[in-house]
Amino acid sequence: MHTRRPDGFSRRRALQALVLAGAATALPKGFAVSPQARRLGVALVGLGGYSRDLLAPALQLTRHCRLAGIVTGSPDKVPAWQAEYGIPDSGVYSYDDMHRIADNPDIDVVYIVTPNHLHKPLTLAAANAGKHVWCEKPMAMDAGEAESMVRACRDNKVQLAIGYRMQHEPNTRRFMAMAQERPFGRIVQLRADAGWFGWRQGADDAWRLDPACGGGAMYDMGVYCVNAARYSTGLEPVAVRAWDETARRDIFAGVDETMRFTLEFPDDVIARCVTSFGRNLNTLHVDCERGWYELSPFQSYDGNVGRASDGTRFPAQLGERPRMQAEQMDQDALAILEGRSPRAPGEEGLRDMRVLDAVFASVRQGNERVRVAG
Ligand code: NAD
């Protein structure tokens, strides 16, 4: 029970205000505050489509985060962001002066939401500034970069979490548990298809066609297939074969439009995957000895639903977008506040990058079987 002042100012609210101001250490003795009462200040780096349409609105729904800063190379975007989200001048940075974030106690987490080739340098900059890092998928351009990101965060004693939003979605979490529970016996094979016919010529996100920026369907959507194949089996793939089936080379000159690949897991488990910028694909189907289960769609922002061969239904969870992103950021914030590992740490992204390396190597080697680095 809180003693309420006539103006509604309770002891708990006074406490929250103190904690928010970073003044927890000044509290009188015996005035204990749970770490969860604190909201972490998050700075979004890169104000493109995903930050604008999903992450910033989602931050307004979180219980453990608040939007405290922005890092952008587009000064023209700053006034609208400041006006909409009340971001102070002290929370606005360019890529060139991002290192100054080290001196800003209002920012606890730096969330990298840029084109893929910038994930590594910006993660290193944030970690060296002593801030926790959340980084969008794909984590990096290759496993070597991902390893250096894990190392930089470990050396700076900050957390690194990858923006694998599906790993926070309850139906997906159910599938992860079923990999261990095996309700239909041993998993025999699975199919994971993730495609997006969203790319339009002349669209802002031209970097998605640029190999130097980590463009192409495999980096963008294929990583959902790889991650799903791993979390649905609870196994690590040992080898890969891949076929680049790009049809429109006039548009997709230097990157893959469509990639088909198979992942070999231990115990003869096989995952067959297709990813594409030329087709809408969104199904995860798991075949077991005595039945099957699937989510379709399995990687949408909302409405991920499924069924199983015994009639079980997996109805939509979490509500409409951007609830999934809010859940992801709250869970990752709690991991920081409670001092435990996030659900999808850097090591999780690194394992996927090793698979992507093998996929690209297989294509280069004429669709040969390539072992995944251990
Ligand atoms: P976008 O093209 O809409 O935005 C990219 C932003 O980065 C833009 O604001 C652009 O100005 C900025 N930028 C900075 N340096 C740049 C450079 N050198 N070249 C081009 N742009 C530069 O992209 P997006 O859809 O917001 O994707 C950003 C990241 O988020 C990607 O890594 C993507 O894979 C990831 N993403 C994740 C999800 C998800 O569901 N988890 C969804 C969409 C995007």
Residue 337 belongs to some domain of the structure: no
* Tokens (6 digits) for 64: 């453990």
| DSSP structural state of residue 110 | E
The answer on 156 and 44 residing in a single domain is yes
- What pLDDT does 30 receive? 41
What is the CB-side half-sphere exposure of residue 325 using CA atoms within 13 A? 22
Choosing from 135, 164, 193, the residue where a domain stops is 164
Name every protein residue with a CB atom under 6 angstroms from any ligand 1 atom.
46-51, 73-74, 113-116, 118, 136-137, 163, 165, 204-205, 207, 213, 220
Q: What is the mean pLDDT of residues 41-69?
A: 98
Is residue 265 within 8 Å of 238, Cβ to Cβ? yes
173 compared with 37, residue with greater pLDDT: 173
Which residue is closest in CA terms to ligand 1's atom 21? 115
What domain range is 260 assigned to? 170-317+344-371
Whether 2 has a pLDDT exceeding 60, the answer reads no
Whether 16 has a pLDDT exceeding 70, the answer reads no
Q: What is the mean pLDDT of residues 1-16?
A: 32
Q: Can you tell me the distance from the alpha carbon of 189 to that of 242, in angstroms, rounded to the nearest whole number?
A: 17
Which residue is closest in CA terms to ligand 1's atom 6? 48
The answer on 174 and 138 residing in a single domain is no
Phi then psi for 146, rounded to 5 degrees?
-60, -40
Distance 180 CA to ligand 1 centre (A): 35
Please choose from 112, 113, 149, 348 the residue to mutate so as to test ligand 1's pocket, defined by most ligand atoms within 8 A of CB: 113
Residue 71 belongs to some domain of the structure: yes
Whether 291 has a pLDDT exceeding 80, the answer reads yes
The answer on 224 and 153 residing in a single domain is no
Q: What is the mean pLDDT of residues 326-355?
A: 98
Q: What is the mean pLDDT of residues 182-194?
A: 98
Taking residue 295's Cβ as centre, other Cβ atoms within 10 Å add up to 26
Helix or strand run (H / E) with residue 231 = helix 223-233
The answer on 201 and 157 residing in a single domain is no
Q: What is the mean pLDDT of residues 40-52?
A: 97
H helix intervals, the chain: 11-20, 49-50, 56-59, 78-85, 119-128, 143-155, 170-181, 217, 223-233, 323-337, 346-364
Residue 336 belongs to some domain of the structure: no
The answer on 271 and 226 residing in a single domain is yes
Residue 151 belongs to some domain of the structure: yes
374 compared with 242, residue with greater pLDDT: 242
Residue 326 belongs to some domain of the structure: no
Residues 199-236 as b/e (b if ≥16 CB within 10 A, e otherwise) read beeeeebebbbbeebbbbbbbbbbbbbbbbbbbbbebe
Q: Can you tell me the distance from the alpha carbon of 302 to that of 281, in angstroms, rounded to the nearest whole number?
A: 15
Ligand 1: atom nearest CA of 74 is 11
- What pLDDT does 32 receive? 58
86-93 long-range contacts, CB within 8 A, separation 24+: 91/43, 93/43, 93/69
Distance 371 CA to ligand 1 centre (A): 31
Residue 322 belongs to some domain of the structure: no
Residue 206 belongs to domain with CATH number: 3.30.360.10
The answer on 221 and 94 residing in a single domain is no
12 compared with 219, residue with greater pLDDT: 219
Please choose from 52, 74, 136 the residue to mutate so as to test ligand 1's pocket, defined by most ligand atoms within 8 A of CB: 136
- What pLDDT does 14 receive? 36
pLDDT band with cut points at 50, 70 and 90 for residue 344? very high
The answer on 193 and 91 residing in a single domain is no
* Percent share of the chain, pLDDT over 70: 89
Q: Can you tell me the distance from the alpha carbon of 339 to that of 305, in angstroms, rounded to the nearest whole number?
A: 33
Q: What is the mean pLDDT of residues 131-136?
A: 98
Which among 134, 138, 137 has a CA at the least distance from the CA of 123? 134
**Torsional sign, CA 133, 338, 354, 207:** negative
Q: Can you tell me the distance from the alpha carbon of 346 to that of 9, in angstroms, rounded to the nearest whole number?
A: 41
Whether 287 has a pLDDT exceeding 50, the answer reads yes
- Amino acid letter, 76: D
Is residue 217 within 8 Å of 259, Cβ to Cβ? yes
- What pLDDT does 37 receive? 79
Residue 335 belongs to some domain of the structure: no
Domain count, the chain: 2
Whether 202 has a pLDDT exceeding 70, the answer reads no
**Number of helices (H), then strands (E), in the chain:** 11, 15
The answer on 245 and 194 residing in a single domain is yes
The answer on 138 and 196 residing in a single domain is no
The answer on 57 and 159 residing in a single domain is yes
Choosing from 164, 190, 206, the residue where a domain stops is 164
Choosing from 134, 164, 194, the residue where a domain stops is 164
Q: What is the mean pLDDT of residues 294-323?
A: 98
The answer on 142 and 178 residing in a single domain is no
* Tokens (6 digits) for 264: 């070999």
- Amino acid letter, 146: A
Residue 126 belongs to domain with CATH number: 3.40.50.720
Distance 54 CA to ligand 1 centre (A): 12
Residue 49 belongs to some domain of the structure: yes
The answer on 309 and 221 residing in a single domain is yes
